[in-house]
Structure 1
Amino acid sequence: MLKSLWLETAYPRDTYAPPSSDTSCDVCIIGGGLCGVTTAYLLAKAGKKVLLLEKDRILEGASGNTTGKLTTQHDIVYADLIKKFGEESAKLYYKTNDAAIRFAEYIAEGDELRSTHSVLFARTDKGIETLKFEADAYKALGIPFDRRLNWELPISVKETLTLSNQAQLHPVRFGQHIAKLAVAEGVQLCEKSDVRSMDLKEKSLQLSSGIVVTFDELVLCTHYPIEALRGMNILKLEVKRSYLLSAPADMPLQSQYLSVDEPKRSIRTVFIDGRSHFLLGGEDHKAGVTSDTDLHYNRLAEELQSTYYLGEPIHSWSAQDPSTPDLIPYAGPISAAMPYVHICTGFRKWGMTNSIAAAKIVTDQITGQQNPAIALYAPDRTGFGTLLFQALKTTGFVLKEFTGGHIARTNAPICTHMGCRTRWNKGDETWDCPCHGSRFRKDGSVLEGPATRPLNFKNDAH
């Protein structure tokens, strides 16, 4: 498998032992990405006894395979948020994510964070119109912006929309730092701690090792929630995959960039241990629907060389992220029937700010603190019509893949989550499920959920 620049340049790894005996806690967190470790840190600082369980190693999932952009400029979003929620809610979304940036600036050390500008750019007349609507939204919300064309890339553009006072992260080093702070606050952080089963009514779970954990509150920071079927959230999340390359480059950029036209491209540089790297991302598609993922890497690699005159990429990686039907992530109780089971998911590829924001929202809800974003991010906030439409659209795709996959891909192993046929991902050397986004390593072990059990090659023809 390919490995990201962030994972290759992480701090020396600490290891966190799994529980050695049955244990209890105030709050159990499942998932050791940036959202999980930040939630653990904040809850421990608030006086809670916290146990965090990670099935592999912390920060090696979505958090270790991101662009590392820490920004309130989440593509074209504010014009749509005003239309869906009104100006006050759109302004609250901005303020919540801006507060996440300021939190990270306060916590980060060394080269874990760098201040920068975020720039949306248009290369077509249609893109110019898109930027105009978004700039109008910024103006209505009081978001300071700049339309001047201060351009530093070797491609032609027609318009830009810039936000200053934004940031970039080394997401793994930053997450490792927060994990150390969490442990210092008393968090029991456990790796190689795979959850086998849950009894949510009894507030307990069992690990694959047989260890039993009991809790008062449970927070699922597992990207695609294991227990999402309870609140039907599994029908509300659409999963997309995108690709990234990096190459050495003596061209540190002053800003980070995202195109509004197709094909979408994300561009930034990063400075690590005295070396500058150029990052190019894009090639989005629904997770699990293509086998020849090398095509996506190859397109980016060709562009890296022909447009930016750089050499062969040194690092190549990909990530996937669920999206909710209305652009705003879920952070809070999974259903009214079980207010002590929380989810943090649906970051729509903007998980650096939104994972920190979600951690703060869930922490405030558990500790009884006032936070106006609690209602905005609540999993049960959306209207039935919107959910029904998304559920029908997504479920229709899932049902098609379930039946078609078993006919067309009879040699592929069956996903252990809900029985869909997986598809081999040639570029990343993984088995990917197109139904709900589960991913398995070449040996069948689980790489990303919602699946929790490995593939069974013995019973599946492959």
Structure 2
Amino acid sequence: MNYLWKDNLTPPKFPRLEGNAETDVLVIGGGMAGVLCAAQLKKSGVDCILTEGEKIGNKITKGTTAVLSAQHDILYSDMIRDFGATYAKLYLEANLRAVEKFRELSKDIPCDFEEKPSYMYSLHDGSRMKQEAEAVNSLGFDAVFSLETPLPFRVAGAVYYPGMAQFHPLKFLYGVAKKENLNIYENTFVYKLKGTTAYTKNGTIRAKKVIVATHFPFINLHGLYPVKMYQQNAYAVAYENAPDLGCTVIDAAENGIFLRNYNGLLIVGGGSHRTGKKGGGFNVPRDFAKKYFPDAKEKYAWINQDCISLDGIPYIGHYGKLLPDVYTATGFNLWGMTTSMAASEILSDLTAGRYNRYAQVFAPDRKMKAGKALANIGISALNLLSPTVKRCPHLGCALKWNSAEHSWDCPCHGSRFKENGEMINGPAMRNAHVKQTN
């Protein structure tokens, strides 16, 4: 993969843990959520250690499209219907607050921060767009329904959000880590958590509280995360010689197109599909660009993964009822930047025993949608029973060969492995035993 955000950027270096350590709060995971949590804890005067199995920002964060927006698909009208206007407004406020927090922090951290309004459009259902705009307006935000967009084709309707933004995620992440002088240990893989004691190859870390910020939580027996969440692959291609839209754009259709600019490039995202299942892929953004921007020239292309919650709302809070001192932030869907920032404030409060007004919205123990949970379980059950030798070391599901990316992918919970079985992304905690393919 050819990742845009890693190009011409030298990452900071942090030591590996050698020996045992103690701390008030241990943060496991060095992506955007983990680093922001550690920074917020340190600002609150809390002694904190962050561990990362590889290099900070080198997993999911390096593949994000890095949009700072509270426009999270067609969500607010659904939230009002399913949870009520109070919860929907709190969710909106939490994400608007996150955008503002990024705006403030970027004044001291060079990260190519740019003010960019956001459009969400539909090609066929203008009434749904109008309904969403009205729902957001009822929550106190001035969204605008429009038939006009900067796109080179007509739409049935669009929702316009002013005051959104975008940035360079790794420049920001590295800047926070250095500016706050965070206590980070890289190449320090936590392979087991017992209570609030973390075990690594070179020592243990004893903590009073633990935050698991590993994209997909790795403790299987608590919280039911394999039941109430799954992963999907997402694809992005960056083009030269393409227009500057002056905004970010999302297609309201399921697994639709996404657009943003950066430094003379146009990023086209699309083709998402459940990890381990066929469909989508790089052809979707490439075909879109070929149709609407025929003179564009491809420069970067990469794949990423998103954790998808069953109700469209992240899980931020206590990991599980039997783990009172362990917390998590996961299930960010397609909106990991603002929800990472929201998680940092929520978990900083919860680990200190403070009330946070947004915590109730994101509580991991909220009621699941039974139908979607059963469907998710059904997919896992089918793959558990599939008669193949190549199994995922996470929970034993049958691995599927991904010929496009030359990887072994798990359709149950989304772990991915290189052709030789080396782990790419979890929740698996070790490599898979597979034979080399031709």
Q: TM-score range by the shorter chain?
A: over 0.9
Choose the corresponding residue for 2:429, options 428, 452, 456.
452
**Corresponding residue of 2:274:** 286
Unaligned runs of 5+ in 2: none
- 1:83 counterpart SS class: helix
Q: Single out whichever of 221-230 and 88-97 deviates more from structure 2.
A: 221-230
**Corresponding residue of 2:45:** 47
State the AA in 1 paired with 2:262. V
Cα distance change on mapping 1:12 and 1:461 into 2, 3 Å: closer
- 2:384 counterpart SS class: helix
Q: 2:79 aligned with 1:102, yes or no?
A: no
Q: 2:105 aligned with 1:113, yes or no?
A: no
Cα distance change on mapping 1:250 and 1:312 into 2, 3 Å: closer
Within 1, Cα distance between the matches of 2:31 and 2:363?
A: 21
State the AA in 2 paired with 1:206. Y
Deviation at 1:285, TM superposition (A): 1.2
Q: Deviations over 1:229-287 (max 9, x none)?
A: 3122221112222211101135322111111236611011112xxxx110111112111
**Residues 112, 171 of structure 1: 8 Å contact kept:** no
Deviation at 1:60, TM superposition (A): 1.6
Within 2, Cα distance between the matches of 1:145 and 1:41?
A: 32
**Corresponding residue of 2:184:** 189
**Corresponding residue of 1:397:** 379
**Residues 130, 145 of structure 2: 8 Å contact kept:** no
Within 2, Cα distance between the matches of 1:316 and 1:398?
A: 30
Q: 2:358 aligned with 1:373, yes or no?
A: yes
Choose the corresponding residue for 2:13, options 9, 12, 15.
15
Within 1, Cα distance between the matches of 2:61 and 2:364?
A: 22
State the AA in 1 paired with 2:403. K
Deviation at 1:69, TM superposition (A): 1.0
Within 2, Cα distance between the matches of 1:324 and 1:457?
A: 30
Q: 2:309 aligned with 1:324, yes or no?
A: yes
State the AA in 2 paired with 1:112. D
Q: 2:204 aligned with 1:212, yes or no?
A: yes
Cα distance change on mapping 1:216 and 1:131 into 2, 3 Å: same
State the AA in 1 paired with 2:325. Y
State the AA in 2 paired with 1:393. A
**Corresponding residue of 1:338:** 323
Within 2, Cα distance between the matches of 1:76 and 1:53?
A: 35
Within 2, Cα distance between the matches of 1:156 and 1:128?
A: 11
Within 2, Cα distance between the matches of 1:441 and 1:359?
A: 32
Choose the corresponding residue for 1:265, options 217, 238, 257.
257
Within 2, Cα distance between the matches of 1:461 and 1:285?
A: 24
Within 1, Cα distance between the matches of 2:31 and 2:225?
A: 20
Deviation at 1:311, TM superposition (A): 3.3
Q: How is 1:213-252 mapped onto 2 (pairs within 5 angstroms)? A: 213-249=205-241, 251-252=243-244
Deviation at 1:370, TM superposition (A): 3.0
Within 1, Cα distance between the matches of 2:356 and 2:204?
A: 33
**Residues 316, 343 of structure 2: 8 Å contact kept:** yes
**Residues 247, 310 of structure 1: 8 Å contact kept:** no
State the AA in 1 paired with 2:199. Q
- TM-score (norm. length: structure 1): 0.90
- 1:223 counterpart SS class: coil
- 1:112 counterpart SS class: coil
Q: How many pairs were matched up?
A: 436
**Corresponding residue of 2:4:** 5
**Residues 46, 367 of structure 1: 8 Å contact kept:** no
**Corresponding residue of 1:83:** 81
Choose the corresponding residue for 1:421, options 380, 394, 398.
398
**Residues 228, 334 of structure 1: 8 Å contact kept:** no
**Residues 419, 437 of structure 2: 8 Å contact kept:** no
**Residues 84, 326 of structure 1: 8 Å contact kept:** no
Cα distance change on mapping 1:342 and 1:262 into 2, 3 Å: closer
Q: Deviations over 1:134-166 (max 9, x none)?
A: 012012111102224443221222322100000
Within 2, Cα distance between the matches of 1:18 and 1:119?
A: 43
Within 2, Cα distance between the matches of 1:308 and 1:461?
A: 37
Within 2, Cα distance between the matches of 1:461 and 1:157?
A: 45
Cα distance change on mapping 1:447 and 1:379 into 2, 3 Å: same
Deviation at 1:424, TM superposition (A): 2.3
Within 1, Cα distance between the matches of 2:242 and 2:302?
A: 21
Deviation at 1:110, TM superposition (A): 3.4
Cα distance change on mapping 1:102 and 1:228 into 2, 3 Å: farther
Q: Of Structure 1 and Structure 2, which has the larger fraction of its residues in helix? A: 1
Q: Deviations over 1:347-405 (max 9, x none)?
A: 1111110111111100111123332011111111x22xx3543332111110101222x
Instruction: Provide runs of 4+ in structure 1 moved above 6 Å.
Output: none
- 1:368 counterpart SS class: coil
RMSD value, Cα: 1.9
Choose the corresponding residue for 2:69, options 68, 71, 79.
71
Deviation at 1:419, TM superposition (A): 1.4
- 1:261 counterpart SS class: coil
**Residues 110, 175 of structure 2: 8 Å contact kept:** no
Unaligned runs of 5+ in 1: none
Within 2, Cα distance between the matches of 1:444 and 1:176?
A: 30
State the AA in 2 paired with 1:204. T
Within 2, Cα distance between the matches of 1:164 and 1:323?
A: 26
Deviation at 1:65, TM superposition (A): 0.8
Cα distance change on mapping 1:259 and 1:435 into 2, 3 Å: same
Deviation at 1:296, TM superposition (A): 2.0
Within 1, Cα distance between the matches of 2:361 and 2:53?
A: 30
- TM-score (norm. length: structure 2): 0.94
Deviation at 1:304, TM superposition (A): 1.3
Q: Deviations over 1:179-209 (max 9, x none)?
A: 2133x2xx32111111222212xx21211x2
State the AA in 2 paired with 1:67. T
- 2:214 counterpart SS class: strand
